[in-house]
Amino acid sequence: MQNQLKINDGVLCILINRRRLLLLKRLAIPFIINHGVWSFITGKLNKKESYLSAAYREIEEETKITKDNLILVMKPFRARLFDIYNGRQWQNTVFIFYSNTRKVKLNIENSKFRWALMSDIKNHKEYTNVFCNEKKMLRILSKALTPL
């Protein structure tokens, strides 16, 4: 399990704009983890890259939203994720950002995007939970949305 965690260690980025959370629909290709599901932005670290640098890079690669449009909401934290198809688990560092734009241009890893309400996330409306501890994540997301 330790090797598995190290191999898949990466980032998960949640973007908030006007009390909505950005969801991306993963392309339905089997070699992509959690293919075909709605989720947040995820990605692996490059060699010698910090978690924060990886977060900004993945956001820009997958949505074309740049660092200049983002404000980090809270201290990053670790969360355990799973592949819904085979149950494989790993940990990522989670970043929550406020975005001052809703303009998204997807890369080839994702087929669609939408800005979802918190109720959509809680009710799994076009959202697939990939967190091993969903209740904890929902509390954290609610807290991040509170000052808005």
Mark 60-90 as b/e (b = at least 16 C-beta within 10 Å).
Answer: bebbebeeebbeebeebeebebbebeeeeeb
Alpha helices (H) along 9-133? 51-63, 118-122
Residue position matching structure tokens 């949505």: 63
Using a cut of 0.85, tell me whether the model's pTM lies above it.
yes
Residue environment code for 14-26, b if the CB has 16+ CB neighbours within 10 A, otherwise e = bbbbeebbbbbbb
Domains and CATH numbers, the chain: 2-145 (3.90.79.10)
Residues 92-144: tens digit of each pLDDT: 999 999 999 999 999 988 999 999 999 999 999 999 899 999 999 999 999 99
Task: Report how many helices (DSSP H) and strands (DSSP E) the chain contains, helices first.
Answer: 4, 8
